Amino acid sequence: MKLLRHGPAGSEKPGALDVAGDIRDLSSIIVDIDAAAISPDGLARLREVDLSALPRVERGVRLGVPVRGVGNIVCIGLNYSDHADESNAPIPKEPIIFTKHTGALCGADDDVILPPGSKKLDWEVELALVIGQPCWHVAEEDALSHVAGYTILNDISEREYQMEREGQWSKGKSYPTFAPCGPWLVTADEVGDPQALDLWLDLNTSRAQTGTTSRMIFGCAHLVSYASRFMALQPGDIITTGTPPGVGLGRRPPEYLKAGDEMRLGITGLGEQRQTVRMRAG
């Protein structure tokens, strides 16, 4: 299933994508795409729904963050060997964990805001997984059974804030609109092997990033299990799993986003995102 939330920001309604690629409104079935909806029981009930009998939503509607009530965004740094190489960083011995403030979340095609005075705004296409049931001290072999599904997250990063402001990664990752998410949540059964997906990002029509999740240093199952040793993951939590090479920081000389730039990005089977960078109004 491809689950989504459609409508104006703050007033999204639950929906699903049917086999023809049309959005069907789920408002008569569930309140929202939330922790209850993405639980094993909730997903089982949704699989029984005849989408063709539900109202069709007009094409072009805005899509919001595909899950309501995200409690935590847990991020993994330097998790692709080729990205570590371009960053001149050693291969981590254990996953590097940091967090993004949930206030950074926005819809897949919403504008990205350039913070006042920002000079080093960067892009990062990433595979993100969404936890579907409580996950605490979970063995690696059982870890993916706790994943409801997968989506795309653009881990927008202000590198000056991240690397030159006393080493606080979260400062460079958490500004509003720094986590475009979606367009939809694809359930784990439909995705199959999360280590066999291609990722890409275009900047102003030129290919900037190309990668494959097979190049992850630590795979999705390991990341879920590892993170669950340090925190009790809850339904709706997002783990975003690192980015392949091709970010602006890794270019020689580095290249960063400016107002008017456009990003288009996607992952195999998970859809596409498109954002325009704009100055903060006012």
**74 phi and psi, to 5 degrees?**
-100, 125
Q: What is the mean pLDDT of residues 154-166?
A: 92
Please report which confidence band the pLDDT of residue 11 belongs to, taking 50, 70 and 90 as the band edges: very high
pLDDT on residue 167: 72
Instruction: Kindly compute the dihedral angle of the four CA atoms of residues 122, 250, 126, 201, in this order, to the nearest 10 degrees.
Output: 80
CATH number for the domain running over 73-279: 3.90.850.10
Beta bridge partners of 211: 199
Delimit the domains of the chain by residue range: 2-57, 73-279
Q: What is the mean pLDDT of residues 69-81?
A: 95
User: What Rg value do the Cα atoms of the chain yield, rounded?
Assistant: 18
Q: What is the pLDDT of residues 209-245, one digit of tens each?
A: 999 999 999 999 999 999 999 999 999 999 999 999 9
Please report which confidence band the pLDDT of residue 9 belongs to, taking 50, 70 and 90 as the band edges: very high
CA distance 10 to 5: 10
Q: What is the pLDDT of residues 18-39, one digit of tens each?
A: 999 999 999 999 999 999 999 9
Q: How far is CA 205 from the centre of its chain?
A: 21
